[in-house]
Structures are given as C-alpha cells and as structure tokens.
Amino acid sequence: MARMVGGQAGGPAGGAARGAARPTLEEVAALAGVGRGTVSRVVNGSPRVSEKAKEAVLAAIAELGYVPNRAARTLVTSRTDSIALVVPEAETRLFSEPYFSDIISGVSAELAETEMQLLLILVRNRRERERLAAYLTAQRVDGVLLVSVHRDDPLPALLESLEIPSVLAGRRGDAEPLGYVIADNAGGARMAVRHLLRRGCDAIATITGPLDMEGARARLGGYRQALEEAGRPYREDLVGLGDFTEEGGRLAMRELLERSPGLDAVFCASDLMAAGAMQVLRAAGRWVPQDVAVIGFDDSVVARHTEPPMTSVRQPIEEMGRTMARLLLEEIGSPGRAHRQVVLATELVVRDSA
C-alpha cells in the first residue's frame, strides 16, 4: 500500500503514482490491432468505421478501462466540455431558500446524460468579477448560466461581447438580446391579486422587490394589471418598496400601515417579505387573513411555516434550471442561431393567509 515512512518527509516527494498509469489511445490501438485514428473515430462515434474494427476497439477499451483524457482533447479541440453556473454571492442567501439548490438540481439533471461538467462560480465582489472576466475571456467554459440579473449588471454585457453561449435566469428588460428563462412573474402576480379581489378585498397593497430587477418590476406590473382589469384604481400610496428581504418586508409594511391604515390585503413580491409583513401586522394587532390577507411569491419553505401558513405564487424553479441547461446546450451545439427565450407558467398555492 506504499505507506509513506517518516512523518515530515520532504516536500516534493510523495507525489508518486496514485493508482496505475492510465491507458492512452495509443495503447488501446495497439491492443485492438488498429491505428490511433480508428480508435479516435470509435470513441467519438464517427460512422466511418467498419463493424469489425469497432468491435475490436470497444473490446480493447473495456479490457483496459480506457477513459479519454479530457485535457488532451480540450487542448486540440478547444472545447472544454464544461459550463459555468455563475451566481452573484449577494443573492445566495437572499433568494427564497430552495431557489439556489433547485436551480442547481435542475441544471445538473439536464446535464447528467451529457459529457458536460458543471462549474460553480460565486462572485462576491468587484475583484472576483474581474477574475471572472479574465476567466471567461480565457475561454475556459463552453457556456455560461447566469443567475439573478440586475438591470445594471455588467456581466450580461460582458457575455454578449465575448460571444460566449449563455442563458440568463431573468433578464435585463423586455428586449433582452441574450437567451433567458423566466417565470411568468406578471401572470403570477395577476393571479394573486385576482384571488384577493375574489375574496372581496378592497384596498390591496403590494410590497415590491428591488425595482432594478425585471422580475420585481413584472410582479408589480401584474399587480397593477389585475387591479385595472377589475376597474380598480392603482394607488401609489398602496405600493411599498421592498428588497426581497424579510427586514425590507417589515419596513415596507410599517410604512404602508402608517400611510394607508385602511388596507385589507398585501401582495408581496417574495415570501420572505411576506413573512416580515405578517410579523408587523400581528404586532399591529391585525389578524391574518381576517383583517388583512397576505400573499407571498416563491412558495418557499418559509411559506409553509408562517402562522398562518402562507398563500403564495409558485414558480417552477427546478424546471427553470432544466430549461436553462437545455437552451445552453442547444446554443453551444449550434452557435450563431438566435437566442431562445422561455417563459414558464406560475401557479397560485392557496393556504391560509389569503
């Protein structure tokens, strides 16, 4: 078992052969009695190989346990067979909790049948953003998935100018040139507000997300549409500005109560904000849903654990991850093609808060 003797043995020593030397294409070719080219063709699924040669090669591969060396392949093809999932760190926590894992889970599921490997890159500050830029410029990935897009985020523009295949979760605006996948935010918001109207709510307030994010703006837009289609006025005094955080929800709720004490419902653009709002409502002696109905957005874990359990708009996050990966693979496969853009349906999950 090649145990090392002497605890503090010299530095560079010890690097020794971990496991036996891996077989190369050449060795497979020798064993199969064919040339390197033929083995390569078999491995890469070229049709121009005789049945006989193919069998011999496959047998040799199996016998030697041959696995192609990715680095060698990358060196010549300059494909890397890996894609990066880029996540601005600030968002990690902020997002409704399972968001992050669910996106990853979807992406990974879609990649599972592929040779593609998934690189995770968290970007926490300016310096790391610059490192990322260098990284991408060096073409170390075949494509990029970018989560959480703010309107002034420089990353999408970078991806665009580098012409790296990429898909966003979100978009900068209506006319996003890059490929993206989003949930039907406006539609979800409309459903929520219609639900409140149907319940007989009259003064329906909303707490928005950060309005430099298209998703937050779309949710606000849906709120407004639902009111207008019901012939209700859109009242500025019923709109509270939040930032997707619980504390933001608390602050906005307090302000709303002060400004418009007569409100009888709140549609919040995130569950976390809704949870904060519910705390403030309770502290103010208002009962949910009797005095004030509350609806959140995301249908995250917290929604199931507030008191009362929260009605919320669900977005198919894992499906978003899958779709992102699928679009990206397509784009990598046929570059130059127009970017695809997908909107996935949302769904209202009714619990007890509205």
Partner DNA sequence: AGGCCGAGTGGGAGCGCTCCCACACAGGCT
Partner DNA sequence: AGCCTGTGTGGGAGCGCTCCCACTCGGCCT
Binding site for a second copy (CB under 8 A): 4, 7, 9, 11, 13-15, 18-19, 22, 65, 67, 69-72, 74-75, 78, 80, 82, 85, 89, 92-93, 97-98, 100-101, 104-105, 108-109, 112, 117-122, 124, 128, 134, 137-140, 162-164, 275, 301-302, 305-307, 334-338
Shortest Cβ distance from residue 139 to DNA (Å)? 11
State the amino acid at position 308 in one-letter form.
P
Other CB atoms within 10 A of residue 337 CB: 11
What residue 43 binds from a second copy, DNA, none (CB within 5 to 8 A, per partner kind)? Answer: DNA
> Nearer Cβ to DNA, position 135 or 194?
135
User: Tokens representing 152?
Assistant: 């002034």
Shortest Cβ distance from residue 36 to a second copy (Å)? 16
Q: Is the peptide bond before 335 cis (omega within 30 degrees of 0)?
A: no
CA dihedral sign of residues 67, 69, 74, 75: negative
What residue 38 binds from DNA, a second copy, none (CB within 5 to 8 A, per partner kind)? Answer: DNA
Shortest Cβ distance from residue 229 to DNA (Å)? 55
Give the one residue of 20, 75, 175, 338 binding DNA; rule: CB under 7 A: 75
Q: What are phi and psi of 37, to 5 degrees?
A: -55, -45
Q: Is the peptide bond before 308 cis (omega within 30 degrees of 0)?
A: yes
5 exposed, middle or buried (CB, 10 Å; 0-12, 13-18, 19+)? Answer: exposed
User: Tokens representing 65?
Assistant: 């346990």
Alpha-carbon distance of 146 to 169, in angstroms, equals: 6
What residue 20 binds from DNA, a second copy, none (CB within 5 to 8 A, per partner kind)? Answer: none
> Nearer Cβ to DNA, position 67 or 345?
67
Q: Is 58 in the site for DNA (CB under 7 A)?
A: no
Alpha-carbon distance of 190 to 230, in angstroms, equals: 11
Q: Residue 269: helix, strand or coil by DSSP?
A: coil
Site for DNA, rule CB under 7 A: 21-22, 24-26, 33-38, 40-41, 43-44, 47-50, 52-53, 66, 68-69, 72-73, 75-77
